[in-house]
Structure 1
Amino acid sequence: MKELTSYEGALCANCQAPLQGEYCHHCGQSVHSVLRPVHGLFEEFFETFLHIDGRILHTLPALFLKPGFLTLEYFSGRRVRYIAPFRLMFVLCLLSFFVLHIATDVIAQRIEQRQQRNAVVMDQDVDFSQAYTAQEVRRQLTAQLEALEAARAVGNTAVVAQIDQAEQKLRQQANTRLAELGAPAHASTAAPSAGDNGDGTSKPVHISWLPEFANQRLADFAQHIRNNAKALRGHTLAERREAWEHVAAGIYGALPGTMLVLVPVFALLLKLFYLFKRRLYMEHLIVSLHSHAFLFASLLLIVIAGMLNTWLKPVAGWAGYAAGLLQGALIVWVPAYLLVMQKRVYRQGWVMTCVKYWCIGWCYVWLLLFALIVAVTLGLAH
C-alpha cells in the first residue's frame, strides 16, 4: 500500500505555489525530480506501462462488445479509465491498415505463384509448321486461344496483360504459317489508349482558368499514374512485383489520412440528421471517433480471421472452418453494432433510428468509396 505523504509547507519549484499533492495545482509540474537513480526510472516506466495496460483492458472490450457504452461514459464525465477517443481511433487505424497491407502482400505472392504456373503454358511456342493446311493452323490456334481464355477468366489485371502478350505472339506465329500456305492472315493491332500520344506520354493537361504551374502539376500527376499503370503490366513477375510494392506503399500511405478526413465529415452528417436533438458538434465528433475506432478494430479482426482461415485450411480443416465462421460473424456484427450504438446514444424510437441509420449509412458508403478512390489515385501517382 502506498504511503501517505504530507506536502504541507512545500512550495512548487517552478511557480512557488503551495503544494497540496504530488502535482502543483497551478502549473501541473510534478514534485518528483528527474534527477534520480536508474532503478527509479525503471519503476516509473513499469508504473506508466501498467497504467496504460489497465486502460486498454477497460477500453477495448467495452468498445467491441458494448455498443455506445464508451461514448455514454465519456458524456457522463467518466473518462480517466479509458483511452481518449482520438488516440484510440488513430492507433487502431494504423494497426488495421498495417495488417491489411500484410494480407495484401500475401495475396500478391499467391497471385504471382499462379502467374508462374500460367506462364509455363503461355510462354510455350506452338509449332504451326506441322500444319499443312489453313484449317489445321486455325484449329491449333483456336485450341491455344481457348486455353488462354480459361486462364484469363481467373486472372487479375497483370495476368490479363501477360495473356494478351501470349495471344498476340500466337497470332503472329499463326499468321506467319498462313502466309507460307498462301491463306489470308488474321491481323490484330491494338489501338493507342485514350490520352496517349502514341509515344508513351500522356496528352498535356490544360485548364484555362488554372495557372500554368497547376496545369503542369496535373500533367505530372497524370504521367505518374500512367507510368505506374504501365509498370503494373510489366513483362516479368519481378517488374510487376516491384511496381505493386511501389504503388501499394503509396496507397497505404494515403489511406490513413483520407480516412481521418471522414471522421469530422461523418460527425457533420450526424449533426444534420440529429439537428433537433440540440447536441454540440463535439458530441457528434466523439460518436464518430468511437464508431471509426470500432470499424478499424473490426477490420483488424476480420483480416486476421481471414488470414487464419487461409493458413489453417490445408493443415487443420476444422480450425480453418472455425476461423471462416468467426470472420462471417464479425462482418454481420459491424452493421448491427452501429445500429444499436446509434439507438443507445441518441435515444430515439426504432423506426426513426432505422430510417436515419439507413440514410446516414447510404451517404457514408459513397463518402467511403470516394475516399478509397482518392487513396488509390494518390497511390498510383506516388
Structure 2
Amino acid sequence: MSNKEITEAGGLRCANCAAPLQGEFCHECGQSIHSVLKPVHGMLEDTLDIVLHVDGRVMHTIPPLLLKPGFLTLEYFSGRRVRYVAPFRLMFVLCLLAFFLGHIAMDQATGGASHSDAAEIVPGQTNAFADASTTLQVQKKLDQQVAQLQLTRESVGSSVGLDLAEQALRRQASQRIAQLDGSSAPAKAGSAPAKATSATGDSSDDEADVEPSRRSWLYRPSHIDISWLPRFMNLRLEDGIKHMKLNLLAMKDDRTKGEAIERLKANTFAALPQTMFVLMPIFAVLLKIMYIFRRRLYMEHLIVALHSHAFLFLNLILGIALSMLGTWLVPHASWLSPIIHLLEWALVIWALVYLFLMQKRVYRQGKFMTTVKYLVIGWCYLWMMSFALGAAVLLGMSH
C-alpha cells in the first residue's frame, strides 16, 4: 500500500455495491475507488486539483461569453457542458461580483460620502434648531424629529434614552424660539414650544403646517392588519413601513440626509441581486412567448436568459473596472480620459450588438423578424428592469 494514498479494500470490485470496476469510479453507484482516509498533504493536493479544474473551466467560459454571442448556449444545447461553468453558477457569481464592484465604485465616486458628525446627530450635543430662522421652522423640525423618535419607539420599544432625547429636543426648540422672539426666559425643558409665530411676533396664517403630525402619513403610527395575511407577515410589513418612514424623515433633515442616502444606496445594492433572480424566470417567459412557434422548452429559454444576463454582468464589471481605473489614472495622465470614455462606449455598443447576434444565432430566424422581436423584448425588458429597480429601492427603504 502506498504511503501517499490509502486505497479501499475490495480489489477489482466496488467497496460500496460490489459491482466490477472499470475505472476510477463505479459505473453503478458512482463511488470513487480512492479512499477519503488520506494524509493531510493528499487532501491539499486534491483541493488544489479541484481549484485548478474550476479555473480551467473559467478560462474556457469567460472568453467565449464575452466575444462569441450564443456560443456557450449552443454548446450547452449540444451536450458539450463539462468544459464550461454551469449557466446559473456563472450568472450568480458574475451578478454578485458586479454589484459588489458597483458599490465600491459608487463609494469611490462620492469620496466615501460625507457622513453626519455623530455629535450633530445626538440631541443635546448641539442645538438641532440653530439653522432655523423662524419659529415656524423650529416647530416643523421639532415635529419631524419627535415623529422620528416615536417611530423608533414603535420599532425598539420604550427607552429612557429616547425619552431623554425628546426632552432635549423640546428644550432646544424652546431655547431657539426664545432667541428668535428676543425673550430672555425660555420655556421649561419638558414642555413643547408654544404655537409657532413668525420672527416678527405675528401668528402664522398657515396653522396647518405648524402641526403636520395631524395630517401627514409620515407622522402617524403604522398599523397593518390585512385579514387574509398571516400575523407574522402583517408584523413584517408594519416593521418595513416604520423603517421607511424613519429613512424618509432622516432624508428631510439636513444633518442626517447624507447618511440616510448612503444607507439607502447600500440597502438597494444589497436587494438588487435578489430582484434580478426573480426577474430571470420572468424574462425566460417573455422569450417563450416571443418564440412560441419555435417549440422550444422553457428550460432552453431560461438558459438563454442566464447566459444573456451573465454576459451583461461581465460587461458591467468591465465597465466599472474602466471607470475605477479612470478615476485613479486620469488625474495623473489626462490624455487617458478620452481613451477610457471610448472604451466605455464601445462596451455599451457591443452589449446591444451582442444580444442581437445571440438572439439571431440561438433562435435562427431572419434579420427582419429577429430585429422586430429584439426591439419588443428590449422594450418589455426596460419596463421589467424599472419595476425591479423600484422594488429594490422599496426594499432598501424598508431596512
Q: State whether structure 2 residue 35 is matched by structure 1 residue 15.
A: no
The aligned counterpart of 1:169 is none
CA distance in 1, matches of 2:56, 2:101: 24
Q: TM-score, normalised by structure 2?
A: 0.70
The residue that corresponds to 2:27 in the other structure is 25
Q: Cα–Cα, structure 1 residues 208 and 50, in superposed 2: closer, same or farther, change >3 Å? A: closer
Letter in structure 2 aligned against 1:349: G
Partners of 2:61 and 2:36 lie apart in 1 by 31
State, as a whole percentage, how many aligned pairs show the same letter.
54
Q: Extract unaligned runs of 5+ from structure 2.
A: 1-8, 118-128, 132-176, 183-197
1:98 matched residue in structure 2 = 100
Deviation at 1:29, TM superposition (A): 1.0
Q: 1:362 to 1:194 in 2, by over 3 A?
A: farther
Counterpart pick for 2:350 among 303, 327, 333: 333
Task: Tell me, in whole angstroms, the C-alpha distance in 2 between the residues paired with 1:316 and 1:334.
Answer: 28
Once the two structures are superposed, the pairs formed by residues 26-65 of structure 1 within 5 Å of their partners are: 26-65=28-67
Name the CA shift for 1:347/1:33 in 2 (closer, same or farther; >3 Å). Answer: same
Give 1:321 deviation, angstroms. 2.8
3-state DSSP of counterpart to 1:314: coil
Q: Which residue number in structure 1 is paired with residue 240 of structure 2?
A: 221
The reply to whether residue 379 of structure 1 matches residue 381 of structure 2 is no
- Secondary structure of the equivalent of 2:114? helix
- Indicate the SS of the match to 1:232: helix
1:276 matched to 2:293? The reply is: yes
Q: CA deviation at 1:98?
A: 0.5
The farther-off stretch of 206-215 and 351-360 is: 206-215
> Does the 8 Å CA contact 2:222/2:241 hold for their aligned counterparts?
no
Q: Is the 8 A contact 1:196 1:203 kept in 2?
A: no
Equivalent residues of 1:232, 1:243 under 8 A apart: yes
Q: Which residue of 1 aligns with 2:150?
A: none
Is there any run of 5+ residues in structure 1 with no aligned partner, and where? 1-6, 116-122, 126-171
Q: C-alpha displacement at 1:361, in angstroms?
A: 1.0
Shift of 1:75: 0.8
Q: Point out the structure with the larger helix share.
A: 1
What displacement does 1:37 show? 2.1
Q: Deviations over 1:143-186 (max 9, x none)?
A: xxxxxxxxxxxxxxxxxxxxxxxxxxxxx9xx989x99999999
Are the structure 2 counterparts of residues 81 and 307 from structure 1 closer, same or farther at C-alpha, using a change threshold of 3 Å?
Answer: same
The aligned residue for residue 310 of structure 1 is 327
Deviation at residue 109 of structure 1 after TM alignment:
2.8
Equivalent runs, 1:1-382 vs 2, <5 Å = 10-109=12-111, 112=114, 192=212, 196=216, 200-202=219-221, 204-205=223-224, 215-236=234-255, 239-240=256-257, 242-382=259-399
Residue equivalent to 1:131: none
Q: How many residues align?
A: 319
- Distance in 2 between residues matched to 1:93 and 1:381, nearest whole Å: 23
With structure 1 as the length reference, what TM-score do the two structures score? 0.73
Measured after TM superposition, the shift of residue 242 of structure 1 is 4.5
Kept in 2: contact 1:12–1:19 (CA 8 A): yes
CA contact (8 A) 1:23 1:31 kept: yes
Work out whether residues 21 and 27 of structure 2, in 8 Å CA contact, stay in contact via their aligned partners in 1.
Answer: yes
More off after superposition, 213-222 vs 363-372: 213-222
- The Cα of 1:309 is off from its aligned counterpart by 2.0
- Measure, in 2, the Cα distance between the counterparts of 1:357 and 1:22: 48
- Note the alpha carbon deviations across 1:85-130, whole angstroms, 9 max, x for none: 01100000110011011112223436539x9xxxxxxx999xxxxx
Deviation, structure 1 residue 249: 3.8
Contact 2:285 2:298 in 1 (8 A): yes
- In structure 2, do the counterparts of structure 1 residues 195 and 85 end up closer, same or farther at CA, with 3 Å as the change threshold? farther
Q: CA deviation at 1:218?
A: 3.3
Q: CA deviation at 1:324?
A: 1.9
Evaluate the alpha carbon distance shift between residue 217 and residue 79 of structure 1 in structure 2; reply closer, same or farther with a 3 A threshold. Answer: closer
Q: Is the 8 A contact 1:58 1:82 kept in 2?
A: yes
Q: For residues 11 and 355 of structure 1, do their structure 2 counterparts lie closer, same or farther at Cα, with a shift above 3 Å needed? A: same
Contact 1:9/1:18 (8 A) holds in 2: no
